[in-house]
Structure 1
Amino acid sequence: MKVLIATDKPFAKVAVDGIRKEVEAAGYELALLEKYTEKAQLLDAVKDANAIIIRSDIIDAEVLDAAKELKIVVRAGAGYDNVDLDAATAHNVCVMNTPGQNSNAVAELALGMMVYAVRNFYNGTSGTELMGKKLGIHAYGNVGRNVARVAKGFGMEVYAYDAFCPKEVIEKDGVTALDSAEELYKACQFISLHIPATAETKNSINYALLKNMPKGALLVNTARKEVIDEAGLALLMEERADFKYVTDIMPAAHAEFAEKFAGRYFSTPKKMGAQTAEANINAGIAAAKQIVGFLKDGCEKYKVNK
């Protein structure tokens, strides 16, 4: 069996070493495709792969067509919208993610961006503090729970809304559970977004939702670019000079946001949530273990396609 690591943003060497240890201990071969610049390189590399570990790399129908021996793809991370799930199912390929492995890294980034924003992007002027402020967590999964944990350390009042998480699960963490996104956005000066990009959530963070946030509002997006209605957000920021937006997923309209809302907007050049040595190692080794479990024992615990 051949396991391919296909990453245009490579894992750290220690992560690759850990993956290799898991794969070779199971008696499988490990192959590497790192920092590739053309899709043709990926198409060639997958031809004889039985399993693939990826990060933000695109696995679409064309890649699956080329991968005749492929049985499983594991996305090292929580989000998996870079994999065509329907095409994978049609090709009888199992797709998994590695939930929870990047959660602390993303949570620390979200809080770090909050500090950066409330201190006016470290421009030397007087800002505000996080202590005592109301933070709303939109989606209370692995990342949301870590955000709550860190935010409580800052002394913030933490609220959450998650359509799929029981209120008692949220409240046992000392977090106030609210009944709707609308209620969350009305109550909280700060919102940290952790919803996935689905047909239901795309463009759902829109003008109508955001306009009700309290004065001095801050929206932090370490989730997905697609969930933001950029036109609606831009309109709101034009109307409200008190509204700030920070993200680690650069908007399509980045140049417009940077020009119009200087001092109230910040985006990292690339997605940064999982860019820590610890998350890199954790997610990569988890992916390797899941592949071995699937190939040896048929374990499908983290399967995300039907």
Structure 2
Amino acid sequence: MKVLIATEKPFAAVAVDGMRKVIEDAGAELILLEKYTAKADLLAAVADVDALIIRSDKVDAEVLDAAKNLKIVVRAGAGYDNIDLAAATAHGVSAQNTPGQNSNAVAELVFGLAVMMCRNMYNGTSGTELKGKTLGIQAFGQVGRNVARIGRGFDMSISALDPYCPDAAMEEAAVKPVHSVEELYRENRVVSIHIPATPETRGSIGYDLVTSMPKGGLLINTARKEVIDEEGLIRALEARPDLKYAADVAPDRAEEMKEKFGGRVFFTPKKMGAQTSEANINAGIAAARQAIAFLTTGEDRFRVNK
């Protein structure tokens, strides 16, 4: 068995050490492809491997065509829109993610962004506190649940929208269920986005939703830039000088927005939700374990393609 770890942005060395132990203890061979700059390097590396572990690297039909022996690809992280799921299915490849491994890191970043924006990016002017404010969570998965946990520590009033999560599960976490996206935005001073980028969600958050937020509204996006209607967001920020937007995934029109709105917008230089040593290690080792489990026992619990 051969397992390829292909990462343009490498795992931390300690994560690779842990992954190597999992893989080699199972009698498999580990192949590392780090900091590659050409797709041709990836195409050559996948030629005879049984499993592929990636981070934000793209696995499309061309990669799958080149990977003649590939049986599983694992994305170390929760999101998996960098894998062509239909192509993976067509090639008989199990596509998996590692849900929950990065969730605390992303949730902590939400509040790092929230405090910074509420304090006017620490520019010396008077800001606001999170205590007593309303927090709306758009999707109540692993990240959303951690956001709620931390929000309770700030003594915030929390509600969430997730059609796939039972009301009882939210209520057990001291979170008020809401049942429409309009209600979520209308009722919350701070809204944190955690939805995936799907045909239904792309461009779904725009002018109407953002301008429906209460005075002083703050929208935080640690999900995907594609869920934002950028034209609509820009119009909303123009119409409502009290609104702010922060994201760990820069929009396509980031420079224009920074020029127009200054300290009312903030974007991290690259996607940083999972950029902690703990999340890096957790997700990497989980990916290695899932790859080995699939190759040895057929364990397919985290499969995301049909």
Question: TM-score if structure 2 supplies the norm length?
Answer: 0.99
- Counterparts of 1:251 and 1:36 in 2: how far apart (Å)? 25
Q: Show the counterpart of 1:111.
A: 111
What do the CA deviations read for 1:151-207 (whole angstroms, capped 9, x no partner)?
110111111111111111111100111111111111001000000001111111111
Q: Show the counterpart of 1:7.
A: 7
Secondary structure of 1:137's match? Answer: strand
Q: Show the counterpart of 1:54.
A: 54
Give the aligned CA root-mean-square deviation in angstroms. 0.6
Q: Show the counterpart of 1:259.
A: 259
Identity %: 64
- Counterparts of 2:189 and 2:200 in 1: how far apart (Å)? 24
The letter for the 2-side match of 1:41 is D
What do the CA deviations read for 1:125-162 (whole angstroms, capped 9, x no partner)?
11010000000000000000000000110111111111
Secondary structure of 2:262's match? Answer: coil
Q: Show the counterpart of 1:69.
A: 69
- Counterparts of 1:133 and 1:110 in 2: how far apart (Å)? 15
Q: Show the counterpart of 1:37.
A: 37
Q: What does residue range 128-143 of structure 1 map to in structure 2 within 5 Å?
A: 128-143=128-143
The letter for the 2-side match of 1:64 is L
The letter for the 1-side match of 2:254 is H
- Counterparts of 1:3 and 1:169 in 2: how far apart (Å)? 38
Secondary structure of 1:210's match? Answer: helix
Gaps (5+ residues) in structure 1?
none
Q: Does 1:25 align with 2:25?
A: yes
What is the CA distance between 1:124 and its match in structure 2? 1.2
What is the CA distance between 1:65 and its match in structure 2? 0.7
Q: Does 1:210 align with 2:210?
A: yes
Secondary structure of 2:263's match? Answer: coil
The letter for the 1-side match of 2:48 is D
Q: What does residue range 1-306 of structure 1 map to in structure 2 within 5 Å?
A: 1-306=1-306
What is the CA distance between 1:280 and its match in structure 2? 0.3
The letter for the 2-side match of 1:279 is A
Paired residues in the alignment total 306
- Dislocated runs of 4+, deviation >6 Å: none
Question: TM-score if structure 1 supplies the norm length?
Answer: 0.99
- Counterparts of 2:49 and 2:9 in 1: how far apart (Å)? 19
What is the CA distance between 1:235 and its match in structure 2? 0.4
- Counterparts of 1:181 and 1:166 in 2: how far apart (Å)? 16
Secondary structure of 2:22's match? Answer: helix
What do the CA deviations read for 1:91-129 (whole angstroms, capped 9, x no partner)?
111100000000000000001100000000111111010
- Counterparts of 2:226 and 2:18 in 1: how far apart (Å)? 33
What is the CA distance between 1:41 and its match in structure 2? 0.8
What is the CA distance between 1:208 and its match in structure 2? 1.5
- Counterparts of 2:259 and 2:36 in 1: how far apart (Å)? 33
- Counterparts of 2:218 and 2:17 in 1: how far apart (Å)? 40
Gaps (5+ residues) in structure 2?
none
- Counterparts of 1:88 and 1:139 in 2: how far apart (Å)? 26
